[in-house]
């Protein structure tokens, strides 16, 4: 039985490798490959096309039941597919947060809601945004000020969100709204799905220091949302939102979407750093010849393997229904802080070249390292600050007392 299973998985591994060779973009993994520009319609279309290819091949959508458009595979097959995707790296999918909507729908949605929205999330046919943070309610979700007033079979929503991800190309969005101004905290919110083409909803991009505009300010001016788009019961929005945040911290169901360029890795997740060190001179010395850089790179490889093993363990526990929902804060915090430490190491290694942005002829690797360094600054803020995540670990996993300095 063991040998038969091994042969089956080996055959799947070869199948996935063959599929990747035939379907990855021409020149992938070489300097000849030029990815579509970030945040453009061209890039979004390419991401949607790639995601659809993965879905049609049966290589994604594993966390969702078949009746809602998911792909059902044994855990060991999922692991093989993920390993092969990570081995070569793959293009990014479309800019969408649909997996967060799936988390809410699977736990609180009606059958009609699940069958309407989840299948098109699986294929990336419809893309989603998340309107949570507000100018005066970032990490304090319970303090949001967006209001919803019922008018017949609709809710009229007013307010503003900020740092809204994936809003530029979103077809649908998810939003918690204060629907009872007199109810106590955590009982005064309701959770909605809304059509981004609804009159009154508008998007204003926020430009980052990377040059990108990943995030936006989003405005609700008398936006009418059908009552049938409420996920969960009225007043249950806080609990629906907590389900979404658990999925966000854990990375949800996204697999096989390693970004192009410098993030494609195979050797303990650090072959890009090894290559950079071997081709970079620092103070008249090849960086790879410096034992301190080699030691730091080796440490990142060890940490990457530890995170991989921890993620696999949590995935198995999740399938058995043994997670509390707070464990994702461990890997989320560790990954994000590690990203910053890696970016800092690269900045030390390449020295003054870190100041050259994309498009500058002096930029190393077309400014990809600089982009990663700048982008990593936000890693410990987005999807819940590391302080919030550490509080979750301390109080909800370790059972430590709730204390505030």
The residues annotated as belonging to the active site are: 248
The four Cα atoms 265, 268, 269, 275 give a dihedral, to 10 degrees, of -60
What CA–CA distances, in Å, run from 108 to 25, 83, 102, 241, 244? 38, 32, 10, 11, 11
Question: Is 359 exposed, middle or buried, given 0-12, 13-18 or 19+ CB atoms closer than 10 A?
Answer: exposed
Is residue 326 helix, strand or coil? coil
Is residue 214 helix, strand or coil? coil
User: How far apart (Å, rounded) are the C-alpha atoms in residues 404 and 401?
Assistant: 10
User: How far apart (Å, rounded) are the C-alpha atoms in residues 395 and 389?
Assistant: 10
User: How far apart (Å, rounded) are the C-alpha atoms in residues 331 and 306?
Assistant: 10
Is residue 62 within 8 A of residue 73, CB to CB? The reply is yes
Q: 157 has which bridge partners?
A: 148, 223
Closest by CA to 264, choosing from 36, 30, 15, is 30
């Amino acid at each position: 039985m063991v040998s038969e299973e091994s042969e089956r998985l080996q055959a799947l591994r070869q199948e996935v490798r063959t599929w990747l060779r035939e379907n990855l973009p021409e020149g992938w993994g070489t300097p000849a490959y030029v990815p579509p520009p970030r945040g453009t319609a061209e890039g979004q279309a390419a991401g949607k096309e790639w995601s659809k290819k993965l879905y049609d091949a049966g290589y994604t959508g594993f966390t969702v039941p078949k009746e809602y458009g998911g792909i059902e595979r044994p855990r060991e097959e999922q692991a093989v597919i993920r390993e092969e995707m990570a081995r070569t790296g793959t293009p990014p999918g479309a800019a969408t947060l649909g997996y967060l909507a799936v988390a809410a729908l699977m736990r609180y949605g009606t059958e009609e809601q699940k069958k309407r929205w989840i299948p098109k999330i699986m294929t990336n046919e419809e893309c989603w945004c998340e309107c949570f943070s507000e100018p005066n309610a970032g990490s304090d979700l319970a303090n949001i000020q967006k209001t919803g007033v019922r008018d017949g079979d609709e809710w009229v929503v007013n307010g503003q969100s900020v740092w809204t991800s994936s809003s530029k190309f979103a077809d649908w969005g998810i939003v918690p709204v204060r629907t009872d101004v007199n109810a106590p905290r955590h009982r005064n919110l309701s959770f909605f799905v809304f059509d981004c083409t609804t009159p009154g909803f508008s998007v204003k991009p926020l430009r980052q220091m990377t040059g990108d505009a990943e995030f936006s300010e989003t405005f609700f001016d008398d936006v009418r949302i059908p009552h049938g788009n409420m996920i969960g019961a009225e007043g249950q929005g806080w609990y629906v939102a907590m389900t979404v945040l658990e999925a966000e911290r854990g990375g949800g169901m996204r697999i096989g979407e390693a970004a192009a360029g410098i993030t494609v890795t195979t050797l303990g997740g650090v072959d890009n750093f090894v290559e950079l060190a071997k081709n970079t001179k620092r103070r008249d010395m090849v960086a790879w010849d410096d034992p301190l850089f080699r030691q730091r790179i080796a440490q990142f490889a060890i940490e990457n393997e530890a995170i991989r093993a921890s993620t696999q363990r949590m995935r198995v526990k999740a399938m058995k229904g043994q997670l509390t929902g707070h464990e994702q804060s461990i890997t989320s915090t560790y990954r994000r802080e590690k990203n910053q430490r890696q970016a800092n190491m690269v900045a030390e290694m390449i020295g003054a070249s870190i100041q050259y942005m994309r498009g500058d002829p002096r930029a190393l690797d077309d400014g990809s390292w600089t982009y990663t360094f700048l982008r990593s600054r936000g890693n410990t803020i987005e999807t819940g600050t590391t302080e919030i995540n550490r509080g979750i670990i301390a109080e909800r996993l370790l059972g430590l007392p709730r204390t505030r300095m």
